[in-house]
Structures are given as structure tokens and as C-alpha cells.
Amino acid sequence: MIHLYAITDSTLMPGELLFASVEAALKGGCKFVQYRDKSGNSKKRLAEASRLLTLCNEYNANLIINDDVQLANQIRAQGVHLGQGDGAVRVARKLLGAVAIIGVTCHDSLALAEKAIDDGASYIAFGRFFASNTKPEARPAPLSLLTEARTKFPNTLIAAIGGITTENAKDVLTAGADMIAVCHSLFAADDIAAQSRKFIEL
């Protein structure tokens, strides 16, 4: 099954706009939401993540916490996403349990993906594939990487990230991705629910 994977942005979606935007995406059928906030304000992050979890649960969707295993454990979120410098997958798995969703950023590296899978990751994320608003400095990855990963890791979910839009998403899915991770191309849309449906229909 193909999943739309929505990633929040605290600059694009400040305050109450965060919840209104995420609910619109959920209404459009999105089942994966990643809460991403780099502010370092632990009180704010706890309050926002807790409220988002309630929202996601209402729509039978999964809330993934970016880079913070302790927060994911504290609110009992469905999972966590780890960058290469954000802690060990094995430690996260031990803390969050066998059914937790644990994703790992693998950039453009099949070797990093293999290690993540060996350590117990639920999905591997590659990118960026196109010019990205969220991480413009990220090094580019070729679409062929997804095809190689699909062949090498046939039983693991593959997420693609970086500048994915409704216009180029089909190329990413055809290349081998199971999940398309989007931020601006979803949450900057005039009608987020309609944009969510449009991505899912792909």
C-alpha cells in the first residue's frame, strides 16, 4: 500500500495552524503524520505532540515523532523517525517496543539503509530527490537509488523525501517508493484536504 507521509513545519504552521492543517490532511485521507519541531522548547513540543496524537487517533492515523525517542515514549506515539545523529535504532526499539514504527534517514546510502534494517527499522527514508524547501542543503539522490533499494530490500517500506509534488510523485512511486514524504507541497496548499486526496489518488 502507498502511504502519504505528511511532515509538519513549525515555521509554515505556527500555533493553531498546526492542528488545523494536520486535521485537513487527515480529512483528506493521510494516515502518517510526522511531528517535526526543532525549537528545543520541551513544554511546547510535549503539548503539541500530545494534541496531534489525539487528532491522529481520531482519524486512525499514525503519529511519528521526529528525532525524539523520549517524547515518542512519553506520549505513546505510534513511532519515531531518527536521523543519522539522533540515537540508535536498537535503543529506540527496546524503549518503544516491538510494534512501534521506527524510521531512519538514509540519505543516498544503501549501506546506511542496510544497517538500519539490521538494527530493526520499520522503514528507510531516502532523499532528497528534488529541490527541497525544508532542507535545501541536503545532497541530492538519484531516482535509481529507489529502484536499487526496492530490489535489495524487498520486504522493507521505503520512504522518499525532498521536493516531492503532485507532478513528480508518480516518478518516485514508479522508481520503488512506498511512502512519499511531503511538507510544503501539502501544507502550503490552498486546500490541504484536497491536496492530501490528490497525493493519495496517485
pLDDT of residue 135: 63
CA nearest to 196, candidates 175, 182, 177: 182
For the chain, domains (ranges, CATH) are 3-201 (3.20.20.70)
pLDDT of residue 1: 58
CA nearest to 198, candidates 186, 181, 188: 186
Grid coordinates given for 73: 515514549
Taking only the tens of pLDDT, the chain with its 202 residues reads 568 999 999 999 999 999 999 999 999 999 999 999 988 899 999 999 999 999 999 999 999 999 999 999 999 999 999 998 877 999 999 999 999 999 999 999 999 999 999 999 999 999 999 987 666 676 789 999 999 999 999 999 999 999 999 999 999 999 999 999 999 999 999 999 999 999 999 8
Phi and psi for 22 in degrees, rounded to 5?
-65, -40
d(CA 155, CA 199): 23
pLDDT of residue 55: 98
Sort 64 into a burial class: Cβ within 10 Å, 0-12 / 13-18 / 19+.
Answer: buried
Alpha carbon of residue 88 to chain centroid: 18
DSSP 138: S
Query: Position of cell 544497517?
Result: 115
CA nearest to 80, candidates 97, 100, 61: 100
d(CA 98, CA 76): 13
